[in-house]
Chains A and B, each alone.
Chain A
Amino acid sequence: MNRSVFVVLPVYNEGRVVASAIAPLLDRGYTAVAVDDGSTDDTWPIIRSLPIHSLRHPVNLGQGAALQTGMTYALEHGAEYIVHFDADGQHRVEDVDVLLEPLRKKEADVVLGSRFLRDEDRRAVPPVRRMLLKGGVIFNGLLTRVWLTDAHNGFRAMTREAAATIGLRENRFAHASEILIQFRRNRLRVVERPTAIIYTDRSQAKGQSSLNAIKIVVDMILRRIFR
Chain B
Amino acid sequence: MRPVQFILIVLLLFVIYVYFSRLRSGLLDRLIVLLFAAVGIVMTVVPDLTTRIANFVGVGRGVDLFFYLTLLGLAFMCLLLYSKIRDLEATITDLARAVAIKKAKPPSSDTPRVPDNN
Point out residues on A near B: beta carbons under 8 Å.
31, 35, 38, 48-49, 51-59, 61, 65, 68-69, 72-73, 76, 169, 171, 222, 226
Contact = CB atoms under 8 A, between A and B. Distances in A.
A55 to B, nearest CB: 4
Query: Mostly helix, strand, loop or mixed at chain B's interface?
Result: helix
B97 A65 contact: yes
B101 A55 contact: yes
Contacts of B100: 35, 55-58, 69, 73
B29 interface: no
Contact of A68 (B97, B104, B105, B110): B97
Interface magnitude class on chain B: 10 to 19
A169 B86 CA distance: 10
Given A54-B105, A76-B101, A226 B82 contact: yes
A222 B83 CA distance: 10
Contact of B83 (A54, A58, A169, A226): A226
A58 B89 CA distance: 14
Interface string B76-118: 0000001100100110110011011101111110100000000
A200 B33 CA distance: 58
A91 to B, nearest CB: 21
